Amino acid sequence: MSPVCPCLEPDGQCDDPKADCMMTLSVAFPAISAAFLAALVEAVEAVTIVLAIATVRGWRSAVAGVLAGLGALALLVLTLGPLLEHVPLRPLQLAIGVLLLLFGMRWLRKAVLRAVGIIPPHDEQIIFERESALLREHTHHTVRLDWIAALASFKAVLLEGLEVVFIVLAVGAGHGLLRAASLGAMAAWGLVIAICWTLRRPLARVPENSLKFAVGIILSAFGVFWTGEGLGVPWPGGDLAIPGIAALFLLAALATIEFVRRPGAGVQP
């Protein structure tokens, strides 16, 4: 695999002294993919709520809330990203690695539980109808609904976007991938917003659980790798260990699904 500089500076120069410019695509590709896929999942969830708000109360207040929410998220990345670049690399890798492990395994566990039917799948249509009903109910009680609608839209974007911000910062900060991960996340949000703007209905057919499963595997692999780096683990193959760790997580998740699906499996006698 050919080495590349993942900083993606316009002049091709890397201005980050800590970024390893011989980092291979084995790090850059999964990092950008994780940011893109995670943003895709979260954008679908946020846009479903925003669509409900727009359908009930009109697009003006909904769009205002979305723009404010996206602005707040961008501000978070622009503020925290450069700050994290000043933290020494190994403690940063350890802290972010542990957080990624907690975050990635939470997503992976939920995706596995949904795959075997222990918890119900995320249904965008039901969420859309519930949010619409809630907003219609508020219409009868208040005249300040436009502000409420804008605030609800803002909160939906902010709360769903926080997970994306964390992923972008975690895979990007300290590794010179902040800009690339941000672009991946923004591309996903742009794609979802454009599709929903055209269709004017929630994206109920997006294979959300499969996406969460994939992102959970990638983030868990990054979490193990960077926690190990922070602890001084000499991973065989360096960065190439990440796809290997991801493959092991995939095998473990699939084996767990198979085991739990067996009748009577995991049930205490």
Partner 1 sequence: MRVFTRLFRELAGLFVDDGLLAILVVRTVAAAAIASLISGLWGGCVLLAGSLWTLCISVIGTRRE
Closest of 138, 165, 181 to residue 35, by C-alpha: 181
> How many chain residues touch partner 1 (CB under 8 A)?
43
> Quick check: 76 binds partner 1 (CB under 8 A)?
no
159 or 193: CB nearest partner 1: 159
Closest of 80, 71, 101 to residue 161, by C-alpha: 71
Of 58, 91, 121, 266, the residue at the interface with partner 1 (CB under 8 A) is 266
Amino acid at 125: Q
Amino acid at 147: W
CB of 201 to partner 1, least distance (A): 27
- Of residues 221-240, those binding partner 1 (CB under 8 A): 223-224, 227-228, 231-235
Is residue 217 within 8 A of residue 103, CB to CB? The reply is no
Q: How far is 128 from 161, CA to CA, in rounded Å?
A: 18
Amino acid at 106: R
> Quick check: 61 binds partner 1 (CB under 8 A)?
no
* H-state helical runs in the chain: 25-57, 59-84, 89-115, 124-139, 145-172, 178-199, 208-231, 241-261
6 or 172: CB nearest partner 1: 172
Q: How far is 231 from 254, CA to CA, in rounded Å?
A: 28
Of 14, 21, 33, 109, the residue at the interface with partner 1 (CB under 8 A) is 109
CB of 123 to partner 1, least distance (A): 19
> Quick check: 162 binds partner 1 (CB under 8 A)?
yes
Give the Cβ contact number of residue 9 at 10 Å. 12
The contact pattern for partner 1, residues 171-210, with x = CB under 8 A and - = no contact, is: ----------------------------------------
> Quick check: 168 binds partner 1 (CB under 8 A)?
no
Closest of 201, 130, 192, 205 to residue 161, by C-alpha: 192
22 or 102: CB nearest partner 1: 102
Amino acid at 78: L
Q: Which residues bind partner 1 (CB under 8 A)?
A: 98-99, 101-103, 105-106, 108-110, 112-113, 116, 118, 155, 158-159, 162-163, 166, 220, 223-224, 227-228, 231-235, 245, 248-249, 252-253, 255-256, 259-260, 265-268
